[in-house]
C-alpha cells in the first residue's frame, strides 16, 4: 500500500470519527445549551442590558459602555445615601402616575420635551400632528394623559412654571380634568427637569432676549398671589429688550436670568416669595439654595445638558422606558458661538454664584447616580450569569447521569464486630473518604464558579480589557 493511499484512508477515518462525535453531541445536547457553555464567558464581557437599554445600530451589547470610561477621573465631593442615588421608580403608565416636566429656560428643555412625546417606545405612542405644537399622550385604553409638559398639556400652570407654581397647580389641574369617581384615587407625580452649566445658560438666555424674546406671560404665582410691580420690576421699558448688549443684560439688578435655576427649583414660600424685605439677600439665597438642592435630590429624575447620553440612560433606568433613537450631544449652540473674555465669564459666575454652587452639587449627584446605576446593572447581570451557570452544570450532570445521590441497597449480612475483617475494611475506607473530602474542601473555593470574590475580580478585569 503506497503512502498516498494510506493518508487518504486515514483522512476518511478522521472524518468518520468527527461525524460520529457530532452525532453523539447532538444526541446528548440536542439544543443550544452546549453553545451556552462557551457563550457564558462572552456574555460576561458584553454585559447585560437593564430595562430601557437596547441594541444599538452597530450591534454592540451595551450602548452605554463608552460612557463608563469618561468617569475615570471623577472624584465625588458629596456624600449621598443609597436612597438619593437609587432613583428607579415603579412608574405605572397604565395606572394613574404622571410625569411632570419642570422646564427651565435655555437648558435644552425643548429638545428633551420633544424626546418625551416623540421618541419613547410606548404601547400607545403620543399622537403628534404636523403644524401642531401639542401632542396627545394618552394611556393605553384610557383618555387620560400620563405626561404634564409643554408639548402635551401646554403651559397649563403658566409659562415656564417653577417648582412653587407646579407643585401647587398640577394636582388641581389634573383633578379638574377627571370625573367625580376618578377623583377619589390619588395620583403619583414624578417631577423631572434638566439643568445646564450656569455660564452658558446665562449667555444663551441673553442671546434669546437680544433677539426680542420675552417671558411676559409668566405668572410667578406664589402663595396664591401674583407679585407686585415693585416686587418684580422690569429691566426694560418697551415691548421687549431686543438689541440689548451683554453689559446691559448683566447690570440690571432685577434680571430674573441671574440664578434662575436655583430660584425655579426652590420653594419660594420659604422666603416670602418675591418680597425682598422679609430677610437679607444672603440669608434669602442661602435658604433658596438649600431648598433647591433638597427638591432636586428628591426629584424622580434630572438630567444635565452637557451629558446627553448619561441623561438618556438615567431616564430609561429610572422609569423603565426606552427611547427609540439615542440622544446626541450638540455643542454648536448660539451660546457656544459667543466669544466671551475670561473676565466677563468670571463676572457672570459671580452674578450666578448660587446657580454655580447648585450645578456643582447637581453634577456630582448626577454622576454618582450614573455610577450607582451601572454598578447595580452589573450586579444584576452577574447574578443572572450565576443562575445560568448553575442551570448549565445541573444539565451537564443530568446528561452524564450524575445525580449526586448514592444508591443504598440493604443486604442480609451478619452484624459486624470490631474484630471482623469487614469492619476493619470499612473503617479504612471511611478514613480515606474523610481525607479525600477534606482535601476537596481545601481547593473547592478556587474552582467554584459561584465564588463572588472571583467574579468581582473577573468583572473588574473585563472592564479594562
- Give residue-wise pLDDT tens across range 269-309: 999 999 999 999 999 999 999 999 999 999 999 999 999 99
Q: How far apart, in whole angstroms, are the C-alpha atoms of residue 96 and residue 66?
A: 36
Residue-level pLDDT at 348: 98
Residue-level pLDDT at 66: 84
Average pLDDT (413-441) is 48
If pLDDT is split at 50, 70 and 90, which confidence band does 393 have? Answer: confident
Residue-level pLDDT at 336: 63
E strands within 36-116?
Answer: 98-102
Element holding 193 (H helix, E strand) = strand 189-195
If pLDDT is split at 50, 70 and 90, which confidence band does 26 have? Answer: low
CA nearest neighbour of 261 among 346, 170, 332, 360:
360
Q: How far apart, in whole angstroms, are the C-alpha atoms of residue 182 and residue 405?
A: 60
Give the 3-state secondary structure of residue 171.
Answer: helix
Residue-level pLDDT at 464: 39
Is the pLDDT reported for residue 323 higher than 80?
yes
Catalytic residues, which ones?
160
Give the residue carrying C-alpha cell 443572572: 384
If pLDDT is split at 50, 70 and 90, which confidence band does 36 have? Answer: very low
Q: How far apart, in whole angstroms, are the C-alpha atoms of residue 226 and residue 164?
A: 12
Percent of the chain with pLDDT over 70: 74
Can you list the alpha helix ranges (DSSP code H) found in 145-245? 163-176, 198-210
CB atoms within 10 A of CB 52: 19
Residue-level pLDDT at 457: 41
Residue-level pLDDT at 286: 98
Q: pLDDT tens digit string along 208-253?
A: 999 999 999 999 999 999 999 999 999 999 999 999 999 999 999 9
C-alpha cell at 51: 430595562
Residue-level pLDDT at 65: 86
Q: How far apart, in whole angstroms, are the C-alpha atoms of residue 211 and residue 111?
A: 20
Q: pLDDT tens digit string along 165-203?
A: 999 999 999 988 876 556 667 899 999 999 999 999 999
C-alpha cell at 69: 470610561
Is the pLDDT reported for residue 140 higher than 50?
yes
Residue-level pLDDT at 37: 36
CB atoms within 10 A of CB 198: 25
Residue-level pLDDT at 339: 84
CB atoms within 10 A of CB 288: 21
Which region among 155-159, 179-183, 331-335 has the lowest average model confidence (pLDDT)? 179-183
Residue-level pLDDT at 337: 65
361 touches 266 (CB < 8 A): no
Amino acid at each position: 500500500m503506497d503512502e498516498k493511499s494510506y493518508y487518504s484512508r486515514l483522512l476518511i477515518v478522521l472524518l468518520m470519527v468527527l461525524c460520529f462525535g457530532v452525532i453523539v453531541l447532538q444526541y446528548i445536547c440536542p439544543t443550544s445549551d452546549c453553545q451556552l457553555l462557551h457563550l457564558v464567558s462572552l456574555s460576561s464581557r458584553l454585559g447585560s442590558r437593564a430595562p430601557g437599554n437596547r441594541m444599538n445600530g452597530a450591534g454592540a451589547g451595551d450602548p452605554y459602555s463608552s460612557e463608563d470610561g469618561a468617569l475615570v477621573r471623577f472624584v465625588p465631593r458629596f456624600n449621598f445615601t443609597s436612597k438619593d442615588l437609587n432613583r428607579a421608580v415603579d412608574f405605572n403608565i397604565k395606572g394613574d402616575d404622571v410625569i411632570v416636566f419642570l422646564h427651565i429656560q435655555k437648558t435644552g428643555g425643548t429638545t428633551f420635551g420633544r424626546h418625551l412625546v416623540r421618541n419613547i417606545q410606548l404601547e400607545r405612542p403620543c399622537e403628534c400632528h404636523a403644524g401642531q405644537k401639542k401632542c396627545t399622550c394618552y394611556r393605553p385604553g384610557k383618555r387620560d394623559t400620563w405626561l404634564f409638559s409643554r408639548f402635551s398639556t401646554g403651559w397649563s400652570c403658566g409659562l415656564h412654571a417653577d417648582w412653587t407654581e407646579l407643585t401647587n397647580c398640577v394636582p388641581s389641574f389634573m383633578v379638574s380634568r377627571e370625573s367625580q369617581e376618578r377623583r377619589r384615587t390619588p395620583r403619583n407625580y414624578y417631577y423631572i427637569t434638566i439643568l445646564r452649566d450656569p455660564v452658558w445658560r446665562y449667555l444663551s438666555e441673553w442671546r434669546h432676549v437680544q433677539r426680542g424674546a420675552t417671558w411676559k406671560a409668566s405668572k410667578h404665582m406664589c402663595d396664591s398671589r401674583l407679585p407686585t410691580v415693585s416686587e418684580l420690576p422690569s429691566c426694560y421699558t418697551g415691548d421687549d429688550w431686543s438689541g440689548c448688549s451683554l453689559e446691559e443684560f448683566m447690570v440690571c439688578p432685577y434680571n430674573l436670568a441671574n440664578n434662575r435655576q436655583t430660584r425655579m427649583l426652590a420653594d419660594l414660600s420659604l422666603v416670602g416669595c418675591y418680597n425682598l424685605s422679609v430677610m437679607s439677600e444672603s440669608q434669602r439665597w442661602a435658604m433658596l439654595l438649600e431648598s433647591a438642592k433638597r427638591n432636586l435630590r428628591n426629584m424622580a429624575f434630572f438630567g444635565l445638558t452637557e451629558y446627553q447620553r448619561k441623561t438618556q440612560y438615567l431616564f430609561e433606568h429610572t422609569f423603565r422606558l426606552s427611547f427609540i433613537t439615542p440622544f446626541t450631544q450638540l455643542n454648536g449652540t448660539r451660546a457656544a458661538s459667543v466669544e466671551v473674555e475670561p473676565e466677563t465669564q468670571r463676572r457672570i459666575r459671580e452674578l450666578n454664584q448660587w446657580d454655580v454652587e447648585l450645578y456643582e452639587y447637581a453634577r456630582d449627584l448626577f454622576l454618582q447616580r450614573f455610577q450607582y446605576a451601572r454598578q447595580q446593572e452589573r450586579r444584576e447581570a452577574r447574578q443572572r450569569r450565576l443562575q445560568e451557570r448553575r442551570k448549565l452544570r445541573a444539565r451537564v450532570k443530568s446528561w452524564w447521569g450524575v445525580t449526586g445521590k448514592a444508591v443504598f441497597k440493604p443486604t442480609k449480612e451478619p452484624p459486624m464486630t470490631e474484630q471482623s475483617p469487614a469492619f476493619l475494611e470499612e473503617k479504612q475506607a471511611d478514613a480515606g473518604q474523610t481525607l479525600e473530602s477534606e482535601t476537596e474542601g481545601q481547593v473547592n473555593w478556587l474552582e467554584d464558579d459561584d465564588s463572588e470574590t472571583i467574579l468581582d475580580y473577573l468583572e473588574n478585569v473585563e472592564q479594562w480589557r
